[in-house]
Amino acid sequence: MNQLIRLSMRNQQTFCLAILDLDLFKRVNDRYGHIMGDFVLKQFGKLLRQHFRSEDITMRWGGEEFVVGLYGADCQQGIDRLNNLLTIWRQQEFVSSAGEAFNVTFSGGLVEWPKHGNSINLLYKGMDAALYQAKMSGRNRIVAAND
């Protein structure tokens, strides 16, 4: 991520950073088992790699959280791209070993560099606060940090 900041500074480009959290993921593990939970995480990671460009960053942050860095994107472009991803992900159907079909959604908090901060620490705080706002306003949505 620091490399993305340096590249953006050098090329005078914006970038968006987003934290994505699979909604109510503990329920997936509790209801369908950890093997199914691991499968859902792998599928989400695979979708991230397929959906974003090679110059973008996609990584698992920990647990059911992932971080996406969108080079050259402003806040609105980031929201649009992540909402597109959310639409695709909502349509993913999983089937448990008992034959029960289910879907998983995610919530996201998004910041734009340098608009919402000029360091990883400030950007992280902003995207984490935006993620919290997305969760508190009903989940299954992307929220950008406040200016």
Say which of 64, 93, 100, 112 is annotated catalytic: 64
Cβ(141)–Cβ(132) below 8 Å: no
Q: How far, in Å, CA of 39 to CA of 63, rounded?
A: 13
Whether 93 is a known active-site residue: answer no
Q: How far is CA 93 from CA 32, 50, 98, in A?
A: 14, 17, 14
Pick left, alpha or beta for residue 40 (phi over 0 → left; psi -120 to 50 → alpha; otherwise beta): alpha
Which helix (H) or strand (E) covers residue 143, if one does? strand 142-144
User: In degrees rounded to 5, what are phi and psi of residue 53?
Assistant: -75, 165
Cβ(32)–Cβ(11) below 8 Å: no
**Catalytic residue list:** 64
